[in-house]
């Protein structure tokens, strides 16, 4: 007979996701370092377990039998998106074989080759934005570069009219809060679900319009999408179109804004990137590792698993701290040092395993173009020495980033 150590009393250890803590949001890494050292595997009052070490997170993502749903196919109420009306049909909230089927049908639009085909257009948009921003010398990097690049590119990809872009991006930021699942309550849930309803109505009309005259935009691609005789149903098409936008657009805004912030805050590394522009791909990977916009993800165990001598039962939700894993000294040398040439850099900013981010190639390409041009076309960059205000998104995305630039 196996004997397990008694389970400690479940505790939030001061970090309850239902309680907003602006100070911790400003700097989450200090408390994460404490967890990694003192409570790397802890059981919470909500019944889920939180993991903070890289080795534990990568083991869950790549090795253990697990998914985003319970073994019987239902969604756990305390997982991201769980228990939310209308949720659960997006591919990120599906396990194989449904996830495999949906991903195959839409994957062609997000391959490395597809992202590279968009690079010339991204470069063109970036050139216009950077030229306009540098003409002012002082500008908001979010509204001047980080937001309009992915906004314009995704709207062009979807065939969304330019006049609709402002409300489209507002809807997207609010819709990200659906990922909070049961932690989204009261009036805020009503507001978010109403916004999602507006976004769904817009997409439904756009899809109907495309069916009448298919083009070369992403929605037309998804309508045509076929794999071994299988196609997306009308409902699946609507949900996947919305989900791909919500999951990818706002996070790219955060990647570019936070990446610029860290390059500015580390002037020696920024200067090195100016001298060695070929490091831009490596620099973007370091931006993702050092301070990416997504702090966590969840998985549900499909078999019992042991962590630190404690058995966690199947069908238990695991909360994985990606931010903590990406600063784990057991995986990364000097993890709190920002290094644009860091190699190797097997960060988890895009997750790993079956649900690895489908839009990773597109996000990387956009950040490379935006940050590469910003650094190459300036002699110096500085920002206001003040706490950042955060945007409406559920992700950690700056609302503004005031920058002073000296053009080359």
Residue 241 CA to residue 160 CA, distance in Å, equals 12
Predicted local distance difference test score (pLDDT) of residue 377: 97
pLDDT, position 7: 56
Cβ proximity of 237 and 246 under 8 Å: no
Count, residues in the chain: 408
Cis peptide before 251 (omega within 30 of 0): no
Beta carbons of 390 and 398 less than 8 angstroms apart: yes
Helix/strand/coil for 48: coil
Structure tokens at 107: 């994957």
Helix (H), strand (E) at residue 404: strand 402-407
Q: Determine the Cα–Cα distance for residues 20 and 295; give it in Å rounded to an integer.
A: 15
Return the pLDDT at 173: 80
Domains of the chain: 22-66+94-407 (1.10.630.10)
CB under 8 Å to 113, separation ≥6 — which residues? none
> Computed from CA positions of residues 183, 189, 195, 196, in that sequence, does the dihedral angle turn out positive or negative?
positive
Separation CA 152–CA 154 (nearest Å): 6
> In Å, how far are 41, 153, 289, 335, 370 from 281, measured between CA atoms?
33, 20, 13, 19, 12
Region for residue 34 given its phi and psi (left: phi exceeds 0; alpha: psi -120 to 50; beta: otherwise): alpha
**Residue-wise DSSP of 93-132:** G--TTHHHHHHHHHGGGGSHHHHHHHHHHHHHHHHHHHHH
pLDDT at 87: 47
CB 241 within 8 A of CB 355: no
In 3D space, the residue among 321, 381, 403 whose CA is nearest the CA of residue 61 turns out to be: 321
pLDDT tens, per residue, the chain with 408 residues: 333 444 567 889 888 877 878 888 899 999 999 999 999 999 999 889 999 999 999 999 999 999 999 999 888 864 444 433 344 567 777 888 888 888 887 887 788 998 999 999 999 999 999 999 999 999 999 999 999 999 889 888 888 888 888 888 888 888 887 767 666 778 888 888 888 899 899 989 989 999 898 988 888 888 888 666 778 888 888 888 887 777 668 899 999 999 999 999 999 999 999 999 999 999 999 999 999 999 999 999 999 999 999 999 999 999 999 999 999 999 999 999 999 999 999 999 999 998 898 889 999 999 999 999 999 999 999 998 888 999 888 889 999 999 999 999
- Residues 46, 77: contact at Cβ < 8 Å? no
Using CA atoms, how far apart are residues 68 and 181, in angstroms rounded to an integer?
Answer: 13
Question: How many Cβ atoms are within 10 Å of 381's Cβ, its own excluded?
Answer: 18
Residue whose C-alpha is closest to residue 49's, from 311, 322, 286, 379? 311
Return d(Cα 67, Cα 285) in angstroms, integer. Answer: 26
Burial classification of residue 62, based on how many CB atoms lie within 10 Å of its CB (0-12 exposed, 13-18 middle, 19 or more buried): exposed
């Amino acid at each position: 007979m196996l004997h397990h150590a008694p389970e400690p009393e479940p505790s939030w250890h001061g970090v309850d996701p239902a309680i907003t803590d602006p100070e911790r949001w400003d700097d989450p890494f200090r408390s994460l370092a404490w967890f990694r050292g003192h409570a790397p595997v802890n059981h919470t009052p909500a019944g889920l377990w939180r993991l903070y070490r890289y080795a534990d997170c990568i083991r869950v993502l790549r090795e253990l039998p697990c998914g985003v749903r319970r073994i019987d196919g239902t969604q756990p109420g305390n997982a991201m998106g769980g228990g939310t009306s209308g949720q659960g049909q997006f591919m990120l909230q599906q396990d194989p074989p449904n996830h495999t089927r949906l991903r195959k049908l839409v994957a062609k639009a997000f391959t490395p080759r597809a992202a590279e085909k968009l690079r010339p257009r991204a470069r063109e948009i970036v050139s216009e934005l950077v030229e306009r921003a540098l003409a002012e010398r002082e500008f908001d990097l979010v509204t001047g570069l980080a937001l309009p690049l992915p906004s314009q590119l995704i709207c062009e990809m979807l065939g969304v009219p330019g006049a609709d872009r402002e409300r489209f991006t507002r809807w997207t930021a609010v819709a990200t809060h659906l990922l909070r699942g049961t932690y989204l309550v009261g009036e805020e849930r009503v507001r978010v679900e109403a916004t999602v309803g507006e976004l769904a109505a817009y997409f439904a009309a756009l899809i109907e319009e495309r069916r009448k005259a298919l083009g070369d935009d992403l929605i037309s691609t998804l309508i045509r999408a076929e794999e071994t005789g299988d196609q997306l149903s009308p409902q699946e098409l609507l949900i996947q179109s919305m989900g791909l936008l919500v999951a990818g657009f706002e996070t790219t805004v955060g990647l570019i804004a936070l990446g610029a912030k860290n390059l500015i805050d580390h002037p020696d590394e920024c200067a090195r990137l100016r001298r060695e522009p070929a490091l831009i791909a490596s620099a973007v990977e370091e931006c993702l590792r050092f301070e990416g916009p997504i702090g966590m993800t969840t998985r549900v165990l499909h078999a019992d698993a042991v962590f630190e001598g404690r058995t966690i039962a199947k069908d238990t939700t695991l909360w994985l701290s990606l931010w903590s894993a990406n600063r784990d000294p057991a995986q990364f040398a000097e993890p709190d040092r920002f290094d644009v040439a860091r190699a190797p850099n097997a960060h988890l900013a895009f997750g790993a395993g079956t649900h690895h981010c489908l839009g990773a190639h597109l996000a990387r390409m956009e950040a490379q173009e935006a940050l590469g041009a910003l650094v190459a076309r300036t002699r110096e960059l500085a920002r206001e020495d003040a706490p950042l205000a955060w945007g409406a998104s559920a992700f950690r995305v700056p609302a503004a980033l005031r920058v002073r630039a000296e053009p080359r």
